[in-house]
Structure 1
Amino acid sequence: MQAEISALEENNTWIFTTLPEGKKPIGCKWVFRIKHQADGSIERYKARLVAKALVACNNWYLHQLDVNHAFLHGDLHEEVYMLPSPGFAPSASNQVCKLQKSLYGLKQASRQWFSKLTTALLTLGYIQSSADYSLFVKRQQDTFTVLLVYVDDIILTGNSLSEITKVKAYLDQQFRIKDLGELKYFLGLEVALTTAEIHLSQRKYALEILQDSEFMDCTPAKTPLASKSKLTSDSGALLHDVTSYRQLVGRLIYLTLARPDLAFVVQQLSQFMDKPIDQHLQAAHRILRYLKACPSNGLFYRSSSPLDLRAFSDSDWAGCLESRCFITEFCIFLGNSLISWKSKKQPTVSRSSSEAEYRALASTIANNPTFHERTKHIEIDCHIVREKVTTGIVHLMPCKSSDQLADLFTKSLAAQPFCDIVSKLETLNIHSPV
């Protein structure tokens, strides 16, 4: 608490003043949190004063930064008064805090902080990505650096250690950062680095789900969904406790960040969030049994992988028994490394399997996927595919059913074909003794 107050005072976050007539001060409170490492050990204790208001293929360096008191660096343009913090009140009892900088809890705090960070990075020569505003890149002669921001956590990677060191020094001068060294644990993702490969997993997060759901001692399952299973909304009794179901599915959705093997079944379960039935809960419990068998599975990126781009696209025509909409899916590889995948039920009905295939392929290669997901005209999808093929950007290759990796994202499979496809996705359990 004392360190937090010292940081606020050093940053000139407020000045003590008498409350002007007609103004009403907002309250504040202390929020305490314990931050853990991936292995469950305590990294540090955190205290926050809160205002009460509404890279493997190129063998690059991969580092992580944490900005100290990030929201406090944002400039505040509004006139805001706050009651003194509990335990650190001024000597004069009739005084309040007039905020000069942003503070945790203010609705504009995150926006002001990100705006200031963006300005600093642009000054340093970085370019903000138009596809993802939290991504910044800098290319200079033979050096290439990438910076990814999530609130006050930053991932920094590139092929030049001197440039990375320079960026760290600049950010520390501007905002005071904590250099966490090589990337190890980020937003629930566990990162294992060597000079030859990178492994991403959510082992700790998966085990927490099993622990909270009381499934640590369950019987493991070989697949996350029984073969040829079809979930509907009218084949069981409504759940009395829908909140626990929604919470579980929500956590499973986040688990798919590094678990493509769960994408299809989680997509299926998320369609019944409004009125789940006991059949859906049983399917969610089977996912937990599958997690028990392989909580450490994750994505594996090798430095020896080539840099060619390959994509698998497929559709399950009229796959939804209730709406007869089709399910489109794709998975994209950079060399042997899986970098993107998707499984989604489309909002419109296709009149033929060919139409469904064209739309699935268009959603894989389209420059503006949001627009093409909404279109109802197959002619546009056909035009996109043909245009890319004609110009040589895309080469369509025949694919046997046994080699169609996108099948994992369209239907429930038997144990053997499921395991075969998962192994081809370059997923790996680094905690396995084999």
Structure 2
Amino acid sequence: MTDKRPLKVTVASRLFTPEVGAASFRLQALVDGLVAQDAEVSVLTTRPPHGSPAFTAPYKLSRWPVLRDAGGNVRGYVQYMSFDLPAFFRLLFSPADVVVSEPPPTTGVMVALSSALRRRPFVYYAADIWTEALSATDVPGIVIRVMRAAEGFALRRAAKVIAISDAVAEKVGEFGVPADRVVVVGNGIDTSVFGPAGESAGTGDPYFVYTGTMSEWQGADIFIRALPAVLAEHPGASIRFFGQGSDEPHLRELAAQTAPGRVHFGGVIPPAEAAQWIRGASGALVSIKPGQGYDFAKPTKIYAAAGCGTPVIFAGTGEGAALVADNGLGEAAKYDVDSVAGAMRRVLDARHNGDDDGSRDARAGWVERHASLANSGQHAAAAVLAVAQSGR
């Protein structure tokens, strides 16, 4: 007899709406896709930071108090475990046909162990390879080896691994995961928020905007170091950072030394407000420091900027640079001061002369066609439900 009850899906993640972040947006799209296909969804997550907007959902949200760092983030091994250890026991008592795990790998390990005990499959949502980013930071080698072992443990035991790009899928394969257990669903942004229509922020002077995480491996300091050369020709220009991350103190110190008064830090802001600042910007800044093992990444902030029509200035090499250059999304610069400063000046000149006006619609149209988060969420949901169905 066929089981006609709705498929039960539990999503385990330390981040979820209304918390701001690419992971939150991506998982929200997945859950929306699951609900649209009549799945019964439960989300095991954390209590959002103090001051977060209210959020109600047509599915079960189980929130747990968690340790956060000074910036309000669940980032750091103690913070991770404050979610992961309770999550293990919460999952043991959570009825589900399939569980979805979001990084970090420590969460993946807890999902894998609890799933083995409950004899049910789980899906690992690989938005990136966690230990590739970790290798680019100043952490002891033993920590990287332990975390890589944890990541491999979770990936190899997943019934299916969802990857956001072919490059991530290739990295997943390096852990020994067979290709037939990896599905590429793409990535993107909410085009209803990050679109060309809507209000624009700004004070009249030209500015560049950087949104999202500021980590060492991203190397956003290249833009601050390039700014003096830009100011020589465009003295009114500035950079505005929105978001947070482990490299923010260094960026603030460098800004005070290099371009006092021309670099501003606005903290974490809601997506709609971020979109306003992006629309009003002359260019959006994205970087990945080359040679750190993370050149395969395609940062979500590329799609957010291009979706608003704003040209992207990408500093680095690899997949992100190719994404920008091959699709007319802006400027792909080498990761050096002269190249980045030149790209920033060209973008300012184009905006001043009105040469970029037509390209803004083209960029937004490309994102609508190729990088809609709703579409990738639907593909991810289909993969999850296929695992749930096969496990019955």
Higher Rg: 1
Query: More helix per residue: 1 or 2?
Result: 2
TM-score above 0.5, yes or no: no
Q: TM-score, normalised by structure 1?
A: 0.25
